[in-house]
Structure 1
Amino acid sequence: MTPLVKGYITRRRVVRSEWSKLWSLRSSWYTIAASVGSAYVFAGVVGAAVNFGNAEKIQMDPVLVSMAGLNFAQLLIPVMGIMMMTSEYTTGTIRPTFTAVPHRLWVLWGKVAALMLTVLPIFLVVAFTVFPLSQLFLQGSHLEVSFSAPGTKRALIGAGVSLTLLAILGLGLGALLRSTPAAIGQYIVVLTVIPQAMSILPYAWLRTASGYMPMKASESLMSAKPGTDHASPRDALIALSVWAAVSVIAAGVSLTRRDA
């Protein structure tokens, strides 16, 4: 067997490899298509609701309403991150991956980088195009808001950033649990079940803490004026970054200590 040339494996090449693997998964195409499609469809649905005279029933941040379809992306995009890792364990290709790249953390960082380079630009474009589309239908209602309004551009950028961090959180869970159903189940529990339980319990500190859970933190980043039960955009960004970082760090520890 011909030995590997020293320096042949570089971080850049690992990222390129992980990028290729990400786009070779059918689930990645389906997930992105469903997430992007739902964002544009709901831009029309919200507009239709306004046209039927139901705008006054919508008491939410106007920017968040305009991007209502991205609520589905909050559930779907992390699944892409999960399957980016678990698919290799399912098919057994994780062993050849670690044989080709003995530095396991390089593989993990390569997946994180490839995921960021995919999710962030796509959903920045989606946010900045869905918003004006939705606002075409919302003109003349209390939900009308312009690009120049305070917090609007920050919320649109926050939409792309929050979905990227949620995807990285999913990737970390996939690396930890190594099972698609288990990782998706845990993600749903963290995303929806626990925050809902925290918000209904009769403890003010729990309701406050629920604003720092991934879903509500993401909603804060996507809002020009977050609700009273949400964290501020700055605090939400810190909280969501911590969630993503902890999942990746835990995944890194797991990868270096457990067999493939």
Structure 2
Amino acid sequence: MTSITPTTTALPTGERAAHEPRARFGDLVAAEWLKHRSLRSTWIAYGATALAVIGFNAGTAYDTYSHWTSQASKDRAAFVSDGIALQHAFTANAALLMALALSAIGALVIVGEYSTGTVRTTFAAVPARRSVMAAKAVVVTVVTTVFGMAVAGVSFALTQAILDRRDAGISIGDPGSFRVVLASALLAPVCALAGLALGAVIRHTASTMITSVVVVLVLPLFLNDGRHWSAVAGHTLPYRAWLRLVDVNYSPAAFPWGTGGAWTVYAVWACAACAIAVVSVHRRDQ
């Protein structure tokens, strides 16, 4: 009796790859979310940033609460009308800290893979690099937006609860309150996407972090409204846009601008950062 052994015709590598289904974008997003949440350092960074930002804001509100009786009666009466309660809801120091931290977290999403070499595995598994970077941008946007909303919401609730013990707190329904919370929350994804774009272009941890500090911290402090070119350049930065949005009682300066322009700066930075991150990895070596 003759045994018949089944034979398998081996396909060439290129032909076999052509028959394999391409990764769907939803699968790429799920994979990037798995990478993002599986790193313990990521959640430590988010947690430390949240505690520091909320602590800054709550500390400022508590300082006002503890020294309330030492203020003049006219100053106490003007506390809410002058918008100082909203300034306590999310302070400038807290905004700078969150912007720096989120830009670093966004940069590490891609720089971390370049430094460990795992980006080679990622691009070997999914040659469509632009799709990979788009998935990273989606994950960064969603996670940091949720983070920003949580931090801004808790900061507002806690600071106003502290101030309300002196009858100086305000509610989310008061004029300007929701805008302050929303602007503070959206500062997180804007800065995180900017960090992602810088990381995709520079690809080195130290250089990326230094550039992030310059863009987020140094430039807004260096540029002022004293000259036209400086004012216009400063108005294009996310932190200066945040300052305009949270300034409820805005008094026109030498070169004024509106809240519509500030929201536009947010949108342009987010869209431009996504585009740079996606385009920069196409046809570049690892």
**Range 98-107 or range 70-79, more displaced:** 70-79
Please, which moves more after superposition, 4-13 or 56-65?
56-65
Q: Give the Cα–Cα distance (whole angstroms) in 2 for the partners of residues 103 and 168 of structure 1.
A: 20
Residue 239 (str. 1) matches residue 253 (str. 2): no
> 1:104-253 maps to which residues of 2 (within 5 A)?
104-139=129-164, 144-199=169-224, 202-225=226-249, 228=252, 231-253=257-279
Aligned residues: 259
Shift in CA distance, 101/44, structure 1 to aligned 2, threshold 3 Å: same
Contact 1:212 1:231 in 2 (8 A): no
Residues of 1 paired with 2:260 and 2:166: CA distance? 29
1:12 corresponds to 2:26: yes
1:37 aligns with 2:51: yes
Deviation by residue 1:69-104 (Cα, 9 ceiling, x = unmatched): 343211101111000010000000011101111111
Superposed counterparts of 1:31-110, under 5 Å: 31-53=45-67, 61-68=84-91, 69-110=94-135
Deviation, 1:131, is 0.5
Q: Is 1:258 the counterpart of 2:271 in the alignment?
A: no
Contact preservation (8 Å) 2:83, 2:248: no
TM-score when normalising by structure 2: 0.80
CA distance in 2: counterparts of 1:238 and 1:145, whole angstroms: 28
How far apart are the structure 1 equivalents of 2:252 and 2:191?
22
Indicate the larger mover: 134-143 or 231-240.
134-143
Say which is worse superposed, 246-255 or 167-176, in terms of deviation.
Answer: 246-255
1:223 shift after superposition: 4.8
After superposition, the CA RMSD in angstroms is: 2.7
Moved more, 187-196 or 229-238: 229-238
Of all paired residues, the percent bearing the same amino acid is 25
Distance 1:211 1:144 in 2: 30
Does the CA contact (< 8 Å) of 2:103 and 2:195 recur in 1? yes
Which 5+ residue runs of structure 2 have no aligned equivalent? Answer: 1-12
Larger Rg: 2
CA drift at 1:175: 0.4
1:179-237 per-residue CA deviation (whole Å, 9 max, x = no partner) reads 1111111111112222222217x523412431331211133344544565685332112
Check the 8 A contact 2:89/2:159 in 1, yes or no: yes
Please give the alpha-carbon distance, in whole angstroms, between the structure 2 residues aligned to 1:177 and 1:217: 25
1:26-55: per-residue Cα shift (whole Å, max 9, x none)? Answer: 332122111211132223311221133277
